[in-house]
Amino acid sequence: MDIRMAGVTKIFHPDIVALEDVYLNVKRGEFVYFVGHTGSGKTTLLRMLNRELSPSSGQIIVGKYNLRKMRLGQLPFYRRQVGVVFQDFKLLPHLNAAENVAFVLEAIGMPGRQVAERVKAILTRLDLWKRRFLYPEQMSGGEQQRLAIARAVVNMPSLLIADEPTGNLDMETAESIMDILFSINASGTTVLMATHNQYVVDAFRARVIRLSGGRIVSDEPRGEVELYGDL
Ligand code: ADP
């Protein structure tokens, strides 16, 4: 989905300016990294696109949806097209790995056999099929992260929002996650990813937008960037 943000400001009570006058255009099918120090506004920007937060002022248009004017009844239809991977995973503790992924497809009324096929395909791809009966607490951090990604992409979303999906992972696992994100992107999904990982940004080239103090300070179309070298 195309994304357009115009003059977006987010102020947290009472006076924390998390984003300030952000203008951003992303075309359908782009892959965009958001970089910048902790507190620069990356997570706030991504959560606004998932409509978990609304802006204090400004416009956000995603595909045919105007997020500020969206009626409550439209939200489930919007959310169906958006996959999210946040740092806290938000896996359901009382469901095993396979059930955590199947849940997403069952919620949209997909027939059981198709659900089973899709779940098997994505868990196999993320090397989790043998772990499918485990509950999140029985899995390592890296496995939980891969499971969160499986869940976010199993529905082939139009937009994938990923906040530090390679955080705390070894290089090999991080690479396998990036391969998956790029292959999903190649099939048409717009991917927005916040990262602190210099290796990933170097090895998997894409547009890089840098935030600082809630503002966009640079936008490199095919980023060769030093994430922290300018400080
Ligand atoms: P980043 O993801 O780049 O680390 P964030 O978007 O998390 O940045 O944070 C931007 C700013 O907004 C920070 O100053 C942070 O403390 C503040 N902030 C984020 N979420 C909240 C919240 N729920 N309440 C108050 N302040 C917040």
Assess whether pLDDT exceeds 80 at residue 227. Answer: no
Assess whether pLDDT exceeds 80 at residue 167. Answer: yes
Which residue intervals of the chain are DSSP H helices? 42-49, 75-80, 97-106, 112-125, 141-153, 171-186, 198-203
Architecture of the domain made up of 28-52+69-220: 3-Layer(aba) Sandwich (3.40)
How far away, in angstroms, is 118 Cα from ligand 1 center? Answer: 36
Ligand 1 atom nearest to 38, measured from its CA: 4
pLDDT at 229: 58
- Which residue minimizes the CA distance to atom 6 of ligand 1? 41
**Bigger pLDDT: 41 vs 141:** 41
pLDDT at 134: 98
- Which residue minimizes the CA distance to atom 16 of ligand 1? 39
**Cβ(18) to ligand 1 under 6 A?**
yes
pLDDT at 231: 42
Distance (Å, rounded) from C-alpha 209 to C-alpha 221? 9
**Cβ(40) to ligand 1 under 6 A?**
yes
pLDDT at 72: 87
Which residue intervals of 91-195 are DSSP H helices? 97-106, 112-125, 141-153, 171-186
pLDDT at 176: 84
Q: What percent of the chain has pLDDT over 70?
A: 97
Distance (Å, rounded) from C-alpha 102 to C-alpha 206? 31
User: In residues, how long is the chain?
Assistant: 231
Domain-wise residue ranges, the chain: 28-52+69-220
Average pLDDT on 158-184 reads 89
How far away, in angstroms, is 109 Cα from ligand 1 center? Answer: 36
Ligand 1 atom nearest to 53, measured from its CA: 23
Ligand 1 atom nearest to 211, measured from its CA: 3
- CA end-to-end span of the chain: 34
pTM of the predicted model as reported, rounded to 2 decimal places: 0.91
Q: State ipTM.
A: 0.98
Query: Do 174 and 199 contact (CB within 8 A), yes or no?
Result: yes
How far away, in angstroms, is 39 Cα from ligand 1 center? Answer: 5
Assess whether pLDDT exceeds 60 at residue 230. Answer: no
The best mutation among 33, 35, 42, 43 to test binding of ligand 1, ranked by most ligand atoms within 8 Å of the C-beta, falls on 43
Ligand 1 atom nearest to 194, measured from its CA: 2
Return the DSSP state at 219: E
Ligand 1 atom nearest to 44, measured from its CA: 6
Q: Angle, to 10 degrees, between the axis of helix 97-106 and the axis of helix 112-125?
A: 130
Average pLDDT on 118-146 reads 93
pLDDT at 223: 67
pLDDT at 128: 95
Quote the distance between the C-alpha of residue 68 and its chain's center: 20
Query: Do 229 and 61 contact (CB within 8 A), yes or no?
Result: no
- Which residue minimizes the CA distance to atom 24 of ligand 1? 12
Which residues lie closer than 8 Å to 205 by C-beta, 6 or more apart? 222, 223, 224
Distance (Å, rounded) from C-alpha 48 to C-alpha 40? 15
Assess whether pLDDT exceeds 60 at residue 104. Answer: yes
Assess whether pLDDT exceeds 90 at residue 137. Answer: yes
Assess whether pLDDT exceeds 80 at residue 24. Answer: yes
CB atoms within 10 A of CB 91: 18
DSSP SS3 for 37: coil
Q: To which H or E segment does residue 7 belong?
A: strand 3-12
Write out pLDDT tens, residues 44-99.
999 999 999 999 999 999 999 999 999 889 998 999 899 999 877 789 999 999 99
Assess whether pLDDT exceeds 90 at residue 180. Answer: no
Distance (Å, rounded) from C-alpha 158 to C-alpha 27? 12
Confidence of residue 177 (pLDDT cuts 50, 70, 90): confident
